[in-house]
Amino acid sequence: MLQAVVNALKIAEVRKKILFTLMMLVIFRFIAAIPVPGVDTAELDRLFNGQLPLSDLANFLNLLSGGALRQFSVAAMGVYPYITAQIIMQLLIPLIPALEQLSKEGEQGRNRIQRYQYFLTVPLAYLQGYGQIKSLINSGINLFGTLNFSITQNFFQTFSILTIMVAGSMFLVWMGELIDERGIGNGLSMIIFGGIVTALPSMVYQAITTSSSGNNVIGGILLLIVTLATVVGIVLITEGQRRIPVQYAKRVRGNKVYGGQSSHLPLKVNMAGMIPLIFAQSILIFPSTVASYFWKPDGTGFLNGIANFFVNSFGPNGLAFTLAMFVLVLLFTYFYALVMFNQQNLPEMLQRNGGFIPGIRPGRNTEVYLTKVLNRITLIGAVGLAVVAALPYFVQQITGLQIGFSSTGLLIVVGVAVDTMRQLEAQMMMRNYEGFISR
């Protein structure tokens, strides 16, 4: 793969795409350093230094935003509102006949669905920005100093702050689209990748230097070993597939014979990708966020007791959170894999093109067989993802290093890196093929 990068830099067209992608990532890092007007950075330092109950949750979200949340920059929400809109649209397509029909209309239908995703992103971004700010304020910090952040009591300034954050997110989405058109890799994934990669080293260094345990060096080495092993496991889960043999029937038209060749149908071990982790984390973070509205450090009563549990005992570094994450990732992996399988409609596609699985009758029998195989291999992918999701808690317990170690972040980094290197290799194969023909 590294040789593919070296060879790619020698080709002017590919080199321009790589440099354009790097330029977009540099611009993103500049944007991530621009704070929202009126933010008190000293109060943010108090939150992220572990002095408040929501510090663990804040550090976790900060890693996913690439460090933008710690500065509370205009890019503090990242591209996650758009990703949420994409997930909602993917779930609605099989449920709404009109959207399902659009998805089958080729490029024009996909462009129209994408336009709906943009429209849905804006209100989601306003809601996410408002909830994010209110959660930080309710955690005990005076985020905007003397400014009263309230829709009802101070609408203009509150709406202006939210609009700046929404504009920052939409600008990042636009940058991602530019990377898709002129760069290398998936644009939105590259934006997330750049943020996580730049934020992760500083968080690990801070965890090692500020840890209260005396075995910082040993803990750091163990953390590095576990991280490398996790990366290898993620690559195996991401790239693993079951190849189902497919035979195409011969068709005679005039004096020519078509078909008759053998092929295979690849079923991925992890067809759902990182979506189950995102779903599970979004659901599990929601109770802590809502509880922060009702929780008071010195409060009493039944409601405050429930809020105290979710704020202090159900955070990203807690055992209850980890066990719930393990179970939800298993469930969501199966759910999303089945949704993706039904959308692809592989049995009908094979039958329409004259293909069949040897020993299996076309139609209903093929669908039952593929579903059975999918359930078996998805079990491996689901357990693998669930272990990756639960691993940060046990790593922190063993090493004694309290870091914002995100399984989702690590999965994104590895997945984007593998996908980008694969695209570079594809570019090289295409050009080598053209060079061979020209001789």
pLDDT in tens, 242-267: 888 887 776 666 666 555 677 778 88
With bands split at pLDDT 50, 70 and 90, how would you rate the model's confidence at 436? very low
- The pLDDT of 54-81, averaged and rounded, is 74
Tokens linked to 16: 């321009």
Q: Is the pLDDT of residue 114 over 70?
A: yes
Cβ–Cβ < 8 Å for 129, 65: no
The pLDDT, as a whole number, for residue 254 is: 63
Q: What is the pLDDT of residues 332-390, one digit of tens each?
A: 888 888 877 777 777 777 777 777 788 888 878 888 888 888 888 888 888 888 888 78
User: What count of other Cβ atoms lies within 10 Å of the Cβ of residue 364?
Assistant: 9
Give the residue with greater pLDDT, 272 vs 53: 272
Question: Of the spans 55-59, 73-77, 259-263, 394-398, which averages the highest pLDDT?
Answer: 73-77
Give me the residue label for tokens 């080199």: 15
With bands split at pLDDT 50, 70 and 90, how would you rate the model's confidence at 204? low
Helices (H) and strands (E) in the chain — how many of each? 17, 5
The pLDDT, as a whole number, for residue 433 is: 44
- The pLDDT of 123-127, averaged and rounded, is 89
* Backbone angles phi and psi of 266, in degrees to 5: -80, 120
- The pLDDT of 269-279, averaged and rounded, is 76
Residue type, 36: V
Those residues whose C-beta lies under 8 Å from the C-beta of residue 286, and which sit 6 or more positions away, are none
Compute CA 164 distance to the chain's CA centroid, rounded to the nearest angstrom: 24
Give the residue with greater pLDDT, 220 vs 321: 321
Spatial distance between the Cα atoms of 183 and 22, rounded to a whole number of angstroms: 9
Tokens linked to 371: 């579903």
Q: What is the pLDDT of residues 162-179, one digit of tens each?
A: 999 999 889 988 998 898
In the chain, the domains with their CATH numbers are: 1-214 (1.10.3370.10), 216-405 (1.10.3370.10)
The pLDDT, as a whole number, for residue 359 is: 80
Spatial distance between the Cα atoms of 41 and 31, rounded to a whole number of angstroms: 16
* Backbone angles phi and psi of 215, in degrees to 5: -105, 55
Give the residue with greater pLDDT, 203 vs 10: 10
Spatial distance between the Cα atoms of 436 and 426, rounded to a whole number of angstroms: 15
Tokens linked to 98: 């009109």
Q: Is the pLDDT of residue 64 over 50?
A: yes
The pLDDT, as a whole number, for residue 166 is: 92
The pLDDT, as a whole number, for residue 403 is: 58
The pLDDT, as a whole number, for residue 400 is: 66
Q: What is the pLDDT of residues 417-434, one digit of tens each?
A: 777 777 777 777 766 644
The pLDDT, as a whole number, for residue 298 is: 62
- The pLDDT of 288-313, averaged and rounded, is 66
With bands split at pLDDT 50, 70 and 90, how would you rate the model's confidence at 28? confident
**pTM confidence score:** 0.73
Spatial distance between the Cα atoms of 413 and 193, rounded to a whole number of angstroms: 5
Tokens linked to 367: 């669908």
> C-alpha distances in angstroms, 301 versus 93, 139, 140, 308?
44, 19, 20, 10
The pLDDT, as a whole number, for residue 313 is: 63
Q: Is the pLDDT of residue 65 over 60?
A: yes
Q: Which three-class secondary structure state does DSSP give residue 244?
A: strand
The pLDDT, as a whole number, for residue 312 is: 63
The pLDDT, as a whole number, for residue 435 is: 38
User: What count of other Cβ atoms lies within 10 Å of the Cβ of residue 256?
Assistant: 7
Helix (H) or strand (E) holding 345: none
Q: What is the pLDDT of residues 222-237, one digit of tens each?
A: 767 777 777 788 888 8
Q: Is the pLDDT of residue 311 over 70?
A: no
